[in-house]
Amino acid sequence: MTMAFTLFFRVENFKVQAIMVLFLSTMISLTLYVIISLSYPFNGASALKPEPFEWIIKNTFVHTDSLDKTKKPTL
């Protein structure tokens, strides 16, 4: 439907029309690729690793079941 919309742009030169359609289809394809790539942040070459998240949980949150009231939590 979006590609058919480009037919409403009346261009007398067919080459110019074809280039416009090519650029539009390229932009739509790249946008969909980025959306799909960012939908799965833990897969692929640039995947997020769990180690930084585990370090934050281990070193910043105090568990109440193991809290010793005589010691202060260390950062």
Cβ 2 vs Cβ 28: under 8 Å: yes
Instruction: Find the mean pLDDT for residues 25-52.
Output: 85
Give the whole-angstrom CA distance, residue 71 versus residue 68.
6
pTM of the prediction?
0.51
Where do the domains of the chain lie?
A: 13-66
Structure tokens at 32: 């969909």
pLDDT per residue over 49-75, tens digit each?
A: 888 888 888 888 665 555 555 655 555
| DSSP structural state of residue 17 | H
Give the whole-angstrom CA distance, residue 53 versus residue 41.
14
